[in-house]
């Protein structure tokens, strides 16, 4: 898994590539928690290059979303597709996270 961060005016874009699994999910959570500690509260998570996610990945997403929500921030997901989308759909996570077809669309919804 690799994480790339890009600061946009509306939100911080967090691009996650590779696998979000039981081994890598804690790294993702740690990184986002650091960003929250730095004062960031609006996030767009870009899953364009995410190849795989399991319940451990969902758990990390949920934990960070709760923390962001506690700060009255926003976390929007972009580019969820393929097998990753299926995991979101069957777990019901597709309905609890706002999902967007592109980073641009998520950013305009973040304003």
Partner 1 sequence: MAHKFEKIFAANIDKLAEITEFVEECADHFGLEAKQKFGLLVALEEAFVNICSYAYPNHDGMVEFACDADADADSFVMEISDSGSPFNVLSLPDPDISMDIEDRDIGGLGVYFIRRMTDKVSYRRKNDQNVLKLVLNRTS
In the complex, which residues of this chain contact partner 1 (CB under 8 A)? 21-23, 52, 54-56, 58-59, 62, 65-66, 69, 82-83, 86-87, 90-92, 96-97
DSSP 98: -
Give me the least distance between CB of 39 and partner 1, in Å please. Answer: 23
Q: 72 phi and psi, to 5 degrees?
A: 60, 30
Give me the least distance between CB of 87 and partner 1, in Å please. Answer: 6
Q: Which is nearer to partner 1, 70 or 108 (CB)?
A: 70
Q: Which is nearer to partner 1, 96 or 104 (CB)?
A: 96
Q: Which is nearer to partner 1, 8 or 67 (CB)?
A: 67
- Burial class (CB within 10 angstroms; exposed 0-12, middle 13-18, buried 19+) of 19: middle
- Burial class (CB within 10 angstroms; exposed 0-12, middle 13-18, buried 19+) of 61: buried
């Amino acid at each position: 898994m690799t994480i790339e961060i890009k600061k946009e005016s509306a939100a911080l874009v967090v691009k996650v590539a590779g696998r979000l699994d039981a081994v890598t999910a804690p790294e993702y959570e740690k990184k986002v928690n650091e960003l929250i500690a730095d004062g960031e509260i609006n996030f767009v998570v870009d899953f364009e290059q995410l190849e795989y996610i399991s319940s451990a990945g969902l758990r990390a997403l949920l934990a960070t979303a709760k923390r962001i929500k506690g700060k009255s921030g926003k976390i929007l997901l972009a580019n969820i597709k393929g097998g990753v989308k299926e995991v979101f759909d069957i777990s019901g996570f597709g309905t609890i996270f706002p999902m967007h077809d592109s980073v641009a669309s998520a950013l305009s919804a973040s304003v």
